Amino acid sequence: MTMPRLIKSLQSLVKKVIKHWQIEGLWKTFRVIVHVFYIRVFYTHGVEPFYDWCWGIQTRGITTSEQLGLTDPQCIRYQPVSYGDFKRVMKHVKVRAGEDVFVDYGSGKGRVLIMAARYPFRKVIGVELSAELNVIAQANLERTRKKLKCNNIEIITSDARQYSLPTDVTFIHMFNPFVGEVLVQVLQRVHDSLLAAPRKITLLYTHPVNFEPIAPQFPWIVKQGEVICYRVSKCAIYECMV
Ligand SMILES: C[S@@+](CC[C@H](N)C(=O)[O-])C[C@H]1O[C@@H](n2cnc3c(N)ncnc32)[C@H](O)[C@@H]1O
């Protein structure tokens, strides 16, 4: 960031703080500052790199659509889910050891795959459009494999729209990987899989801002609850059944 831009950002930040102070009072403003500091500085630059370092992997950072060569604006760039947020959500679900099968749609550099494989899933699958990200994910997996509970991990390079969801999948995770028509088509594939083999699928949807407005179109996806997250708004937990 250049010096003039930094000064401009600081000026705008100070203005925002003063405005917030005038409207909400000193105590609330102080709490917001502490919260923002915790998330932006401590969490993003402290905790997240620490976890990557502990695992010996590289999953941080944003890879833009241009860098990934994603031409469809409905397919979203790479940004990993927060370690803490995913762990928090997993406390609200029960994994049947050796039975449940987990899929992360848009698995990126494999952070969620590694986190999920710490639970006793029978299989963990990543579906990712970018072959480049999958090379990184594979390298990350090789470095952590010995420390994981589930060793049956598969990474598939595919557009999620073309991927036939296996009939034994019982957990799905999405961190806002696609929106609009792409999302609708992928959910249609989930529905097809349910029709082929009726069962319950738990859908963990991190930051479901693009799903919530269209959720009424999918009466077979029923909300069970939501978990407040630090890095994004929330993760919603749904039950999918036909
Ligand atoms: C927000 S990132 C989520 C990364 C990972 N799930 C996590 O939580 O750490 C979204 C990912 O979806 C991938 N993606 C976007 N459109 C896709 C599609 N149509 N099929 C498969 N993957 C897609 C992007 O390449 C990106 O890696």
pTM of the model: 0.86
100 closest CA partner among 124, 80, 118? 124
| 202-217 pLDDT, tens digit each | 999 999 999 999 999 9
pLDDT exceeding 70 applies to what percent of the chain? 98
CA of 28 to the centre of ligand 1 (A): 36
- In this structure, the residues whose C-beta lies within 6 A of any atom of ligand 1 are 68, 75-76, 78-81, 104, 106-108, 111-112, 127-130, 133, 159-161, 175-178, 182
Which pLDDT score, from 0 to 100, does residue 65 have? 92
Closest CA to ligand 1's atom 27: 108
Closest CA to ligand 1's atom 6: 107
Q: Are 193 and 167 in contact (CB under 8 A)?
A: yes
Superfamily grouping for domain 65-240: Vaccinia Virus protein VP39 (3.40.50.150)
| Most informative mutation of 72, 75, 183 for ligand 1 (most atoms within 8 A of CB) | 75
pLDDT above 70: residue 1: no
| Most informative mutation of 66, 88, 105, 174 for ligand 1 (most atoms within 8 A of CB) | 105
3 state SS of 94? coil
pLDDT above 80: residue 46: no
- Kindly give, in sequence order, each residue whose CB lies less than 8 Å from that of residue 193, ignoring residues fewer than 6 positions away: 164, 165, 166, 167, 169
pLDDT above 80: residue 109: yes
Q: Are 126 and 174 in contact (CB under 8 A)?
A: no
* C-alpha span between 82 and 28 (Å, rounded): 25
Q: Where are the domains of the chain?
A: 3-55, 65-240
* C-alpha span between 51 and 146 (Å, rounded): 17
| Most informative mutation of 76, 103, 113, 184 for ligand 1 (most atoms within 8 A of CB) | 76
Mean pLDDT within 231-236: 82
Which pLDDT score, from 0 to 100, does residue 58 have? 96
Mean pLDDT within 95-100: 98
Q: Which tokens is 10 given?
A: 């600081």
